[in-house]
Amino acid sequence: MTPDFVVDLGRDAVRIVLLISAPMLLSGLLIGLLVSIFQAATQINEQTMTFIPKIVVVLVSLIIAAPWIIRIMLSFTRAVFDNILLVGG
């Protein structure tokens, strides 16, 4: 196992983590922005108003994106195992 292999593996792992977390992060960001605009327009400063919609939207986006996330993770895991077998064997 060469240092280049380890660096490439780490780079790919970080890229995959960013890729699979993007749907939840972007949906949470969007709903947070919309709730903030609504609160600023109506001058309602209820703390629970920011958390409940974010939790619901992130959960829904996770459920919707779950098959895609699983496919990405499985392909990465297969590639890692193939590389380990290729380097080790």
From the list 23, 22, 26, 50, the residue with the least C-alpha distance to 38 is 50
pLDDT value at residue 88? 67
CA 32 to chain centre: 17
33 touches 50 (CB < 8 A): no
Instruction: Give 21-72 pLDDT, tens digit per residue.
Output: 999 999 999 999 999 999 889 888 887 888 899 999 999 999 999 999 999 9
72 touches 19 (CB < 8 A): yes
Please name the amino acid found at residue 44: I
9 touches 83 (CB < 8 A): yes
Q: How confident is the model at residue 74 (pLDDT cuts 50, 70, 90)?
A: very high
